[in-house]
Structures are given as C-alpha cells and as structure tokens.
Structure 1
Amino acid sequence: MTLREGVVGAWPEFLAVTVRVAVGGALLFAGVAKLRGGRERFLQVVLGYELITGVWAGLIGRFLPLAETVVGFGVLIGFITPINAVLAFGLFLAFALAVTHSLYRGLFNDCGCFGSRTPVQWRLVYRNIILMGLSIVLLGAGSDAASTDALLCGSANCLRSASPAVMGTLLLMWLATFSGVALLRWRWPAMMRAKQAE
C-alpha cells in the first residue's frame, strides 16, 4: 500500500471520529454545564420555554441534563454508536423545536445552552439542525476503528450503520425540520410586523 492509498483510506475513519467528537462533545459539554449550574436554575430555563409545567417540567429539569451527559459520553467514546446517534438526533430535534417555538411566540428566554445565559436566537436553531445532520452521518458511519464498540467486538464492523428504514426516517425528519425552519425564517419579518401592528 502506498502512502497516498493509506491517507485516502484513513479519511472515512478520521471523519467518523471527527463527527463523533463534535456530536458527543456538544452533548457532553452541555449536559455537564447544566448539571453544574444546578437543578433549580435549569428548571427555570425549562419553564421559560412555556411548553410544559408542573411535574413534567420537573422531570425534564432533572433528567434532561443527565440524558445529555450519558448520550454525549456514549457518542464520544463510540459506545453502542447507532443507538446513541439516534438518541442524539432526538435531543437535537427537541432543542431545535423548543427554540423555534420560543422565537415564534416572541419569548426571548434563556436557551439553557452550555450553561450560559444566552437568549434564544436563530443561530441556536441552525446549530441544532447541523448537529442533527451530523448525527445522521454518525449513524450512517456506524462504529469506527477508534470506538469502544470496535474494542469490545474486536472489529469496527460489529455495529455497522442502521437499517435503511431508520436512516430514511431520520433523513425525512431532518429535511422536514430544515424546510419548516427555513420557511418560518423566511416569513419571520412579515410575522413580526403583523404582531407589532396588533
């Protein structure tokens, strides 16, 4: 094998690891930041979205940071990669929809992102949509050679990519989210003018 063949052959593995670090690192960092900020502070963030109240808000406030941390760590180390990639996709989808809902309703509440007190804004929606797309890429790539899956199975191919049905479903969900947000963002100025005229 020539050096060129070795470098070209290593690109898919390098990209899989890079995507895994980006997706897993984002979730792990966000989850740990929320845990460090305290349950009461994050509960106030959850309530600020005005989507849920009461017991449900308490459950989300308690378990969402833990879920982000566990899924993020699982993705980061490449443990049960296909399942954690789907869970990561679901978390990013929920975040994108929650922020979009707040923007649509004119609630410029604290997003609760990475422990900072940043108000919701469109760039956060875009970031979550990008991370959703990267989760699909991760799911398609399956377990790479540098993953825990490969270490436990003795082969990088033991937990290969998800079924075409799962991939297709997530891709359609991503396209629907992307299209819906793009349409809403395009209509945003007219909607804001109409709200101000009321």
Structure 2
Amino acid sequence: MDSTDEATINQWWETYWDCTERCDEVRVTVYLRSVAPALGIHSQRIQFLQALADAADSGLFDSYDVAIIGDELCVCERCRNLASIQPTIETVLRLMSWRDGGIRSSGFVRCESSSTLAGESHVTVTPPELTAGVYADDTLIGVFPCRADERTYSPAAFLGQLLREGSSMNEREGEQSVHTAVAGSDRPEEDIRPETDIARLF
C-alpha cells in the first residue's frame, strides 16, 4: 500500500510494526457476534480463523484468542452495571468508540428504541459479525472493520495485509540468507532459492 490516498492506514501499519518490536506482547482478539454465523459466511469465518492461526504460528503477532460478544446489547446505565455482562458491554463500547487520528472503528450499529405505551426507552449496540481487536501490551491499538482515507478495511483486509507483509519480510530474509550462502559457496546464486512459508490466503 504505497498510494498517497492510503496515508492514514499506512501510518497505522507503521505503528503496528513498531509495536511488534518494542512491546512485550501484540495480541489479536477476534470478537464473534454469534457462535452460529449468518448463512453464507461460515466458510469465510473458518478461513479467517485458520489464516489467523497461521499468522500467529509465523510470528506476525504473539498470540490470539476468540470471544463471543453477542448480538444486540442494551447499553443503558442499569444494564451496564450488571456484573455478569458488564465486561462484555464495556468491551463492545471500547471497540465501537476506538479511533486514532483519521482512522476509526466501523460496522457497529447504535439504535435508540422507545415505547410511549410502555413508557420505556433504551439504546442498543449491535456489533459486526466479526471484529478484530489489535492489542499491544493490553492497549487497544486497532479495530477492524475500520474507516480510514474514506475506505472501509475489513478484518480480512487486515489479516491479508499482515500475511503479505510477513511474506515479504520472509522473502527479504531469505534473499539475505542466499547472499550469505553464495558468498561461501561455489554454486551459482540461482541454485539457492529462498522459501516462503506463509500462504497468501487473501
């Protein structure tokens, strides 16, 4: 991503790679709206989770986990104070309100409902089907889906870019290894080929 119209997301990636160098842990948490995905996206979810595991195994981040956060959540003061669901609601609100400069989370639907007959009103939040939260030393540094540079970046876009960047780094490291090996070998350079072990799934 070298285009000037992607400056904001490019800057975010610079921050991400900096965190992988200076922070103790970079973690990705996948938040699922439901155990049972909507029809038509089950295979995409399985593919995403497999690619996530591959990225972790390749050292592109330190760890990952998966959490179920539910569908439509009431965020009124009384519900937010219920001990059993308070952590989930607070997590969803942090994800929904996350922003960093020109980039902000997207895909969360806030709805106000009221009934004059019942004399009640409340506000609910519905999260995306799948949300990726990126943490550096327990600090939320990124949320996908997000909006930046007038574009929406999905969790799959995040993971796809992560895998491509990791593959490029592996290729560069492999080329360096090739040059080192050739320097002490009588074989021509073209006979020693670096291998890339990250699948390009997106």
**TM-score (structure 1 length as normaliser):** 0.24
TM-score, normalised by the number of residues in structure 2: 0.24
**Structure having the higher Rg:** 2
Bigger proportion of residues as strand:
2
More helix by share: 1
